[in-house]
């Protein structure tokens, strides 16, 4: 039976790409019974009489999967955050980074709307850029209006499956429209009443950009650390993980333990205070999480 990749899921149909052709498929009835939900990005085995009447017979093993947004086998997460409107948030960015790190997906930080910043905002964002680069992250400052920094994105998306993720209203669809103008994706201004973007992306779909595929995903503003245990949180902060090699005690949580390499790095300025504080807050959130049975 032929194999292909799901590049779009909509209203119970899965659109499978094989040899440049799209086959419209449904999932087998047994999938629901076995609690299997095919995701965009899945490699699948299918059978089809024609391009409109196919059935997915098997979902191949996934390398990784995300639930918000629902997508599988992602190589890279392009975390899109606006410089202003809405204002850049390190705590929200760090929540995204923790989830991406936990799922073993390579992150790329993309800060948009740089054309709207004043000198003070620009300097602050440049400082954040250097701090995140020091932690091991790639950071690109862009503007969809002036197309500044856009050329830096192209090499990162080649031959990869990437997911665009971020808050509503940060300019994900605008960025995709610049990367591929023929898409003409719908964009909306920020809602002045709510201070956040209107949801313009309704489903997950993989879009071809050069030799890569990018998923434009519905925006969202809250993220839970479901499935992440307290012991795993340090590994989701690369600079904390590195500094923890100098902790005296194995299993150190870097809160009240003596001779902690992480706290020493914070005191020396190697690790920014806000990154450490986010770690502390996230750790408490995980510890306070009610168990699910």
Q: Mean pLDDT, 10 residues at a time, over the chain (293 residues)?
A: 93 91 91 89 94 92 83 92 93 93 93 96 97 97 91 93 83 86 64 38 79 74 78 97 96 96 97 98 93 63
Cα distance between residue 4 and residue 18, in whole Å: 5
pLDDT for the residue numbered 215:
82
Dihedral, CA atoms, 264, 267, 272, 277, nearest 10 degrees? Answer: 80
pLDDT for the residue numbered 62:
94
Domains and CATH numbers, the chain: 3-61 (2.40.50.140), 66-216 (3.40.50.300), 230-288 (1.10.40.50)
- Phi, psi for 240 (deg, rounded to 5): -70, -40
Cα distance between residue 37 and residue 170, in whole Å: 29
Cα distance between residue 158 and residue 257, in whole Å: 44
pLDDT for the residue numbered 221:
42
The model's pTM is 0.84
Angle between helices 273-288 and 90-102 (to 10 degrees): 60
pLDDT for the residue numbered 197:
42
């Amino acid at each position: 039976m032929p194999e292909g990749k799901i590049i779009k899921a909509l209203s119970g149909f899965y659109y499978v790409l094989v040899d440049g052709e799209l086959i419209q498929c449904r999932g087998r009835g047994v999938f629901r019974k076995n609690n299997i939900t095919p995701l965009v990005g899945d490699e699948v085995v299918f059978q089809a009489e024609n391009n409109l009447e196919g059935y997915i017979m098997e979902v191949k093993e996934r390398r990784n999967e995300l639930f918000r947004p629902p997508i599988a086998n992602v190589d890279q997460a392009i975390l899109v955050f606006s410089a202003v409107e809405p204002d850049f948030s390190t705590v929200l960015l760090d929540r995204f980074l923790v989830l991406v790190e936990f799922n073993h997906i390579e992150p790329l930080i993309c800060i948009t709307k740089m054309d709207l910043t004043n000198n003070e905002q620009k300097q602050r964002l440049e400082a954040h850029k250097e701090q995140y680069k020091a932690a091991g992250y790639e950071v690109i400052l862009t503007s969809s209006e002036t197309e500044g920094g856009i050329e830096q994105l192209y090499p990162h998306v080649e031959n990869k499956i990437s997911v665009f993720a971020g808050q509503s209203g940060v300019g994900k669809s605008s960025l995709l429209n610049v990367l591929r103008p023929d898409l003409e994706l719908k964009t909306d201004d920020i809602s002045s009443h709510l201070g956040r973007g209107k949801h313009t992306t309704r489903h997950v779909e993989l879009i071809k950009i050069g030799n890569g595929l990018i998923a434009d995903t519905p925006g969202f503003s809250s993220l839970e650390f479901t499935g992440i245990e307290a012991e795993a949180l340090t590994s989701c902060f690369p600079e904390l993980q590195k500094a923890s090699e100098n902790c005296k005690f194995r299993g150190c949580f870097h809160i009240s333990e003596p001779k902690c390499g992480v706290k020493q790095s914070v005191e020396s300025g190697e690790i920014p205070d806000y990154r450490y504080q986010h770690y502390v807050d996230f750790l408490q959130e995980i510890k306070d999480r009610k168990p699910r049975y």
